Structures are given as structure tokens and as C-alpha cells.
Amino acid sequence: MGRTLPVPVACKVCGDKSYGKHYGVYCCDGCSCFFKRSIRRSIFYTCIAVQEERGPRKSGKKKNIPNKNLVEKNSLKSEVTGTYTDVSRKIVERSPEECNGNCCAIQEGNNTPPELHYELSAQILLVTIKRARSCAPLVALPFNCQNRILGQVWAALFLLHASYWPHCDLVRLLYRYRVTTDVCVVMSHIMSCRLMSLDAIEMSLMEILLLCRPDLVSDTNYAQTILDYQQKAQSALAEHTMRRDGVNVFVNGDIADLSISPGNSQSRFGRLLLSLGALNGPLVGPLEACLFRPVIGNVSIENIISVI
């Protein structure tokens, strides 16, 4: 079920809070599973199940949220190179509302609603922009500067997140329902991004590097701040690729280090930097055409970004 509404509306079944439509009708998480017995069959009833039984709901166990201050101005390198395990647990995690719902419907074959790729795209865009606004390079900027940068790089960030979105395969949905030239372009870039096999830290640093656009900031002080983040993120990425190329192997039950030549890590670092250029390619048109324009009409993505 798409979770795309910033302000909830009333569930059509029980009156609880709904953040999106389920088969075209606003339903809360609990009532979505009773959908066929109510709205679709014109049978009106009130769901009397207690909240804990009307999953999926937020669990009592608090989820880890992606590290808001992964890269601080004066400590980016030490944070990234010294806390690999912690960051790996935090990055690319989603709240239950963002991961559950219709995402699992992808596994249901022919029962998947054809409009699901629109809802999934809206979820990815929402999380992408919220995460970007929490990244240190953007936190340091005024809101209008943030919007200017996000208006230029949203497509690259969207593709990065769509490539590694958990439990949901946007490529599979697009291939099943819409195969056009624009769709082929989008699918090709997502598959290319997946081939990079980014780990959690690499993905976080790639996101930061995409956001570091000093050329889009008019104030020289802010531009210098962004440039500092960019240089530190590049250094952290280079160091991480060196560490990543050290492979642990088991020899007679003991762990032994298998060293990889520095050339391999340098080659990977270079490929990752080159991929930034590919992500920043002319992708706005194809993305808007196949994922957003049928839903938002003539409203610009920039206007939507400004209110997220």
C-alpha cells in the first residue's frame, strides 16, 4: 500500500488514519487486508480488531534510522572509516510503513495491481528526498539552496535508492506492465547501478557526493562548505574501497586475510566516481514520463520536492 500522503485521511472502512490508497480506496494498514470483504463487495462493516492485531503496524522495537549525521564537517573521515558495522546496520533501512504493504504484492504474480509501480515510485521519491535533507551537506544550507540542489539531482538519487530498495523490484513491475523507450532507459540505469554491488557505506557516500554541488550554491561560504564535504567524502570512499578489497577467508577454521592488489581498489574507486556522471545523465525526462507524469499531471517534481 502506497504511503504517499504527508497528512493522513480517514480510512473508508473504519475511520482510522490512512496514508494512501489500496486498490484505489483510502484504507488504513489494518483494513487493507479486509478490503475484498468490504469496499470491493459493497459490504459495509466496522473493523473491531485491536490495533496490535491489525498489522502491519509500527512494532514496539525501535527501528534504526539512517545516520542523520554520517558526514559531519570536521569528522567525516573518522566517522566513515571507524564505524563500518554501525553504518551498515543503519543505511537503507526503512520504516514499516515504507517497506510493507503492497511491496509484498510483487511476489503474488498476476494479482499485482498495474498501478503499483506508481505507488512504489512515490514511496521511493519521498524517502529519497527526506534522506537527502537529513544529510550533512544539505543540513548546512538554507532551504532554498536545498531545493535548488535537489531539483537538479533528484533523478540520480531516485535511481540510486530504487536500485537497492528492499523487498521491492521496480524493474520487474515496469517490465510487467509498461515497456516503452523511457521505461527501457530507466530499467537499464537501475540494472547498471545494481551491477556496482554497492555496500552500505559506499551507497551513503555516493549519495553525499551526488548532493555536493557547489556549482549550484551562490553564496561563497556555503559553496566552500559543500566543497569540503565533497573532498572528505571522496577521501572516505577511496579509503573504504581499499578496505573492502581485503577479503577474509577461512583456513583450517581460522580467519586469514587474502590481500588484493591496490590496483583493484583503485579501479573500483574510479568506476564508482564515473558512475556518478552516469547517474547525473539526462534521466529526468524518462523518469517523469514513465513513473510520475501519469499521476501528477503538469505539476513539476520541483514543486513536490519543495513541500517534502
Looking up residue 298, the CATH number of its domain turns out to be 1.10.565.10
Model pLDDT, residue 178: 63
Model pLDDT, residue 11: 74
Average of per-residue pLDDT across 90-113: 43
CA distances from 153 to 26, 200, 203 (A): 31, 20, 15
Eight-class DSSP state of 292: I
Do 272 and 138 fall within a single domain?
yes
CA distances from 289 to 40, 70, 150, 246, 278 (A): 30, 34, 19, 43, 19
Could you tell me if 119 and 4 are in contact, meaning their C-beta atoms sit under 8 angstroms apart? yes
The larger pLDDT score, comparing residue 254 to residue 210, is at 210
Model pLDDT, residue 33: 60
21-22/25-26 β-pairing: antiparallel
Cα dihedral sign, 226-230-236-237: positive
Is pLDDT above 70 for 54?
no
Is pLDDT above 90 for 156?
yes
Number of domains in the chain: 2
Model pLDDT, residue 204: 92
* Model pTM score: 0.61
Do 17 and 157 fall within a single domain?
no
Do 140 and 283 fall within a single domain?
yes
Do 162 and 292 fall within a single domain?
yes
Do 163 and 289 fall within a single domain?
yes
CA distances from 276 to 42, 52, 206, 225 (A): 51, 44, 8, 20
User: Quick check: is 219 in a domain?
Assistant: yes
Model pLDDT, residue 92: 36
- What's the rounded Cα separation, in Å, for the pair 187 and 171? 6
Give SS3 for 62.
coil
User: Quick check: is 119 in a domain?
Assistant: yes
Q: Where are the alpha helices (DSSP H) in the chain?
A: 29-32, 76-82, 84-90, 96-99, 116-134, 136-139, 143-163, 170-177, 181-195, 200-211, 220-244, 262-279, 284-287, 293-296, 301-306
pLDDT band for position 96 (50/70/90)? Answer: very low
Any idea which of 33-37, 126-130, 250-254, 294-298 has the lowest mean pLDDT?
A: 250-254
Do 202 and 299 fall within a single domain?
yes
Q: Which range marks the domain in which residue 124 is found?
A: 114-245+265-307
User: Quick check: is 90 in a domain?
Assistant: no
Do 296 and 201 fall within a single domain?
yes
